[in-house]
Structure 1
Amino acid sequence: MMIDRRALLAACAAVPTLARGQGVRGTTKMIVPYGAGNITDQVARVFVDALAARGGRQLVVDNQPGAGGTLGAYNLVRAPADGSTLGMVSAAALTIAPHAARQAVRYDPFTDLIPAAGVYVSSAYLAVNAALPVTNLAELVAYARARPADNPLFYCSPGNATVPHLNIETLRRGLDFPAQHVPYRTSAAANTDLLANRVQMTMDSASITVPHMKAGTLRPIAYNGTQRSADFPDIPTFREAAPDVPMLNAWSGLFFPKGTPAPIVQAASVEFLATVNDPAFAEKMPLGVAPFPLDPAELATHIRRDNERLGRLIGEIGLTQD
C-alpha cells in the first residue's frame, strides 16, 4: 500500500484529537451493524482487544442491529467525519442489500463510506444430510438431476438473498442442476430441518455445520476456502471441484464516514492492517474465519467486484431480502 510520508506524519500528529476520537476518555466508537454474538460482532471484539494489546487506540463497540446491517451502515454514514466514529461493516450491507433490500438503502456503498482496511473473511462448506447417497460434487449434481420433479432436492438458508442462498444459487446455475430453495428466519431453524432430512443441503457458516459434520450427521462436499481445510483435508475446494463457478465468501471491513480527512484514514489503515496481520489476532478467530488484510484501495476494488457480480445475479433471480 502506497502512503504519502508527509500525509502520514500529519495523520500521526492528529491522532490524539481526531483519530482517537472525541468520545468519553478519548475512545473511538466502532459501530457494528449487527447484534451481540453475530460473527461480525465476535470478530469486532477480538479486533478491539488485539488493537489495544498492540498499544493502539481504544475502540468501543456500539452494536446497532437492524435491517440486515443497513441501519448501522446508514448511521455510520451520518456520523461525524472527524475520526471519532468508524464501523465494521460486512459484505451483505454493501454488495447485497443495495440490490435486494425491500426498500432502497439510504447510502451509496462507493461514495458514502471510506474503506480503511479489510478485517475478516469467512469460508463455508457445502454440506448435505448424511443420508444422501452422495460423496462429491459430481454425484450431488447427478443425484439432483435424477430426483423426480415433484420431489426435488431442497436446500436451506437463513433467508432470501443471504450469502448461503446466493452461493448455492450460483452453484446450481453454474453446474446446471435443479434444487429448490427453502428460506428460514435463522440458521438454527434451517439446521433443525436439515438434520431431520426435511431439507437436504446447506452452505451455512462453518460454526453451524462443522460440529454436525464431525458427528457424521452432515457430510461435507466442497469448501470455499482458498485452500483445503485442516479439519477435512480430503474435501476439495470449489476451485478444485468447480473452477468455473465463482463462489462468494462473506467478509467485513473497517470504514469511516465520507469526509473523514485522508491523513486520519491513512494512519488508521496502517494501524488496523498491522493488527489484522498479527498472528495473535488470527489465533482468536471464530471457526471458519480468517484475517482479510486488504488495504483501502484493495477493499474498494473488492466491493466493486462483488457488487457488480451479485447485482447481476440478484437481478436475474428477481430476489428481495426477507
Structure 2
Amino acid sequence: MKRASSGGAVSRRAMLAAAGCLAAPRFAAAQGEWPNKPVRMVVPYGAGNLADHVARVLAEELQQRWGQRVVADNQPGAGGAIGVQQIARAAPDGYTIGLVAMAALVITPHMTRAPYDPLRDLTPVAGVTVAAGSLTLRSELGITTLPDFVTAARARPAGDPFFYYSAGNGTVPHLNFEILRRTLDFPAQHVPYRTSPAGLADLLAGRVQATMDSFSVVLPAIQAGTLRAVVATPRRRLPEIPNVPSIAEVAPQVEFAHAWQAVLAPAGLPPAITARIAADTKAALEKPDFASRMPAGAGLFEAGPEELAATMRHDHARFGALVAELGLRSE
C-alpha cells in the first residue's frame, strides 16, 4: 500500500511536469505576440508642442509596423511631470510607453519634488529627435558674431545688461544661455516667461534683446529679417541657416545642453519588448521621409537602450549640479 501510494504521487508529479512543459511554449508564444492590442503613447505636453509633433509622426510609423493602433495621449502639466508619472506607474507590459523631452527627466526632478525617479522608475528605450536652438538677437543691434556679442555685453553699463528671455526657469534655453554666459564670462539678465510666444513677442517689441529659444520658434522672424541668429547650439550648422556657424566652430569649449526627445517605458519592461520597440523606432528614423516630417531644427537622435540610459545618467548629474549652482526651484 505504501509503495502504491508513492508511485501514485510520482505519477501525478510527472503529469504536472509534463503539463507545465506543454504550457511553456504556449506562454512563450503569447509573449511573442506583443502587441496584440492598442499601445498608448503618453505625451507629457500639450498639443502642438515639439514632443507632441514627434510623437504623432512616430506613432504613425509604429502603428504600421505593429498592426495595432498607437494612440498619442497628451497629459500636460508640471513641466512634464504629470505625464512621466503616468508612464512610471503603468504596468511594464509594453502597452504604455511615452515620448518624453529631456527636461522632464534630467532637469525638472532637481527643481521640484518629482513623483518619480527618472533613473529608477523608467526603462530607457530609444532616442528619437534632438531640437536645436540658436543665440538670436534683435537685428537692429547690429551684432553679427558671437565674439561681438560678448564684447558688447561686457561693455554695457552695470545697470543696463542685455536681457534675454526663455519660457521659464530651468528650461533648456535658459540653461543654455547660462552655460554660454558662464563659460564666456559676460553679464546678462534672465527674464522668464510662461510661454515662448510671450517671450518672443517682447523680443520683437524690443523689451528684451536676446534668446536661445528653440530654432523652430525664432525661424520665421529670422527669415523676415527682424531677428538675427548669431550661433547655432548643435555642433553642426543648421541647413535652414547655413551661413550661421555652429558653436563648435566659434567656441568649442561651450558644452550646450542638447534638447533630446526619447521613448521610455515603465521600469521592468521585458528585454525582448524593449529591444523590439527600440529596433522598430530605429527603423522608423531611418526612413528617408521621417526627418523631412520634423519641424525646423529638429535632428535625429538615434540611440538604443544602453546609449539612452548613459545619456540620461550623464545629463541628470550635469544639470543637477547646474540647477543647484543657479539655485533654481519650480514656482
Could you tell me the TM-score, scaled by structure 1's length?
0.91
The aligned counterpart of 2:165 is 156
Partner Cα distance (1:247, 1:45) in 2:
27
How far off its partner does 1:86 sit? 0.7
Alignment of 1:238 with 2:253, yes or no, is no
Q: Kindly report which structure 2 residues correspond to 1:276-315, keeping only aligned pairs within 5 A, or say none.
A: 276-315=285-324
Partner Cα distance (1:28, 1:15) in 2:
15
The aligned counterpart of 1:84 is 95
Q: Which has the larger radius of gyration?
A: 2
Question: Cα distance 1:223–1:48, how it changes in 2: closer, same or farther (>3 A)?
Answer: same
In structure 2, list runs of 5 or more residues that go unmatched. Answer: 1-26
Q: Is the 8 A contact 2:65 2:280 kept in 1?
A: no
Alignment of 1:28 with 2:39, yes or no, is yes
The aligned counterpart of 1:136 is 145
The aligned counterpart of 2:85 is 74
Q: Is the 8 A contact 1:11 1:267 kept in 2?
A: no
Partner Cα distance (2:29, 2:319) in 1:
38
Q: Bigger CA drift: 50-59 or 284-293?
A: 50-59
Partner Cα distance (2:233, 2:179) in 1:
13
Alignment of 1:190 with 2:205, yes or no, is no
Q: Bigger CA drift: 271-280 or 88-97?
A: 271-280
Partner Cα distance (2:272, 2:121) in 1:
17
Q: Is the 8 A contact 2:84 2:100 kept in 1?
A: yes
The aligned counterpart of 2:58 is 47
How far off its partner does 1:118 sit? 0.5
Q: Bigger CA drift: 294-303 or 58-67?
A: 58-67
Partner Cα distance (1:36, 1:234) in 2:
32
Q: Bigger CA drift: 48-57 or 132-141?
A: 48-57
Q: Is the 8 A contact 1:87 1:256 kept in 2?
A: yes
The aligned counterpart of 1:7 is none
> What letter is aligned with 2:79?
G
CA RMSD of aligned residues (A): 1.6
The share of aligned pairs that are identical, in percent, is 47
> What letter is aligned with 1:31?
V
Deviations 1:222-276 (A, max 9, x none): 0012311222212110111110010012111111101221211112211121112
Q: Is the 8 A contact 1:34 1:40 kept in 2?
A: yes
Q: Bigger CA drift: 28-37 or 279-288?
A: 279-288
The aligned counterpart of 2:4 is none
The aligned counterpart of 1:14 is 31
Partner Cα distance (2:158, 2:97) in 1:
50
How far off its partner does 1:280 sit? 2.0
Partner Cα distance (1:53, 1:196) in 2:
46
Partner Cα distance (2:30, 2:275) in 1:
12
> What letter is aligned with 2:199?
A
The aligned counterpart of 2:18 is none
Q: Is the 8 A contact 1:56 1:271 kept in 2?
A: no
Partner Cα distance (1:277, 1:58) in 2:
21
Q: Bigger CA drift: 252-261 or 47-56?
A: 47-56
How far off its partner does 1:57 sit? 4.5
The aligned counterpart of 2:8 is none
Question: Cα distance 1:52–1:75, how it changes in 2: closer, same or farther (>3 A)?
Answer: closer
Q: Say which of 100, 110, 127 aligns to 2:119.
A: 110
> What letter is aligned with 1:180?
Q
In structure 1, list runs of 5 or more residues that go unmatched. Answer: 1-9
Q: Is the 8 A contact 2:41 2:59 kept in 1?
A: no
How far off its partner does 1:283 sit? 1.5
> What letter is aligned with 2:228?
R
The 3-state SS of whatever aligns with 1:305 is helix
Deviations 1:277-322 (A, max 9, x none): 2222111011111221100000001111111111111111101234
Alignment of 1:261 with 2:265, yes or no, is no
Q: Is the 8 A contact 2:43 2:51 kept in 1?
A: yes
Structure 1 outlier segments of 4+, above 2 Å: 10-16, 50-58
The 3-state SS of whatever aligns with 1:131 is helix
Larger RCO: 1 or 2 (CA < 8 Å, sep 6+): 1
Alignment of 1:95 with 2:112, yes or no, is no
Q: Say which of 220, 223, 227 aligns to 1:214.
A: 223
Could you tell me the TM-score, scaled by structure 2's length?
0.89
Q: Is the 8 A contact 1:277 1:291 kept in 2?
A: no
Partner Cα distance (1:12, 1:153) in 2:
63
